[in-house]
Structure 1
């Protein structure tokens, strides 16, 4: 209000230093946006933390070198090729570590946030086995792996007989609720399974069961148990499902998980199977979640 320049008289400049933090909190409170925004926010926050604070205890988990000045965390922004689906999809890792010469001015301009898109024309080396999967804050029941019909068949074709794999998928998707049992014939048809013959064989196999609901419940439980045993008894399959190793090239499989502010080894844990929300609409998915 006391400016010396006539054209600036009456101007007031306001600086909002906590805008990023406050906007993040506002978006978290809006439940409709929490998934995408909060996920991206945490991925950017972790890469920023690592690049800004080379004394962070998290670095000791990622690299052996005590001199961390030339190591940087990169946020994944590309969709690499999945060997499972044969398509470019979001990978298991959300960030990974590189070694490069990046001057402090460039880091300040980017606010210590580095992404794959910003690596063009830059010489760098990817540090092996440093892929990090970043989970939402307070996440308790995240999805380890989601299979579509095609990816399920491809993932388990080496472990389940070819003429039984669609029946296995049907068994996992089958409805036992009285109001929804009628949907099973459509699911079977979509999977190329003769539902009447399938149920007839199951009645012989589970001959002690007398009611339809109990039979359908037992079919699903039996399929879940068999699939869990298949996964647990095959290390390469277990690593592919939990870590992405074998289905993605390094650095797009996740050797580490960042959750609740801590960086831990991404090791297989106890899990259960469930169906996705699109089952009644013909979008068949099987999800693996931590127990």
Structure 2
């Protein structure tokens, strides 16, 4: 086991952050009782923030971003994992304040690792990644809440993004009527192919009237963006419906009133994929490999090399990526 490639984000002399691929030795890796050879990773908005020095994501640099990784166990000090096991790592502190998946090798605590379900390939697991896992947690919340297929449509905001596009596909597979909300009308065909019944454009959805409630339209909402879109989602959800919340790409601020909750009985359900308990984590990954495995999983996926990550970081920050982008560490 010789030197391996890893992407390092460093602060430059002019206070900007630069991403370069460097060669490192296994001894360079941090603490953890399992050593994994990474086969695939994926690109998420949080990775892009880490790669430009966002201290809300990563506090100390130099750093290797990448909140997702899938690979093969090379060494293990824990009896739960054996050499040759195929595994997934997402969540916890991975890729945030500990080095992440944009690397040919990682060393992590065994408590962060999920064994790859038999019906899923390593590549497929990273097409899902944290985005797909978050989408699945959102769907699980709707099911646990009791949202039925025949009670009305489910709106998915940010529908062309990683979480949104997978949420559309899972809900469609489960026979829900799905409406995709997007600011990109040119991607309508993509969303219809993913299973959306129709789309709503962001410009038509945003309401600046400051009315405390609006006409009801949705039985439930999977919100991936936050801000004003989440505010209007709450105002337009039907009586006793629910809205899940998992993102803040539009804004981390939420301006609302109590009226959706006390006049319509709406529930706002938080989604956290980082500290999700392992028992739920394993069950959701199993669902993603069986009952919820989407038929079009390989659609709208771009596969890149480690050398192409920096360019794609800029694209995701500019909102120019659609679907999922995965990193093949063998390229």
Taking structure 2 as the reference length, the TM-score comes to 0.29
More strand by share: 2
Q: Rg bigger for which structure? A: 1
Higher RCO, 1 or 2 (CA under 8 Å, sep at least 6)? 1
More helix by share: 1
Taking structure 1 as the reference length, the TM-score comes to 0.32
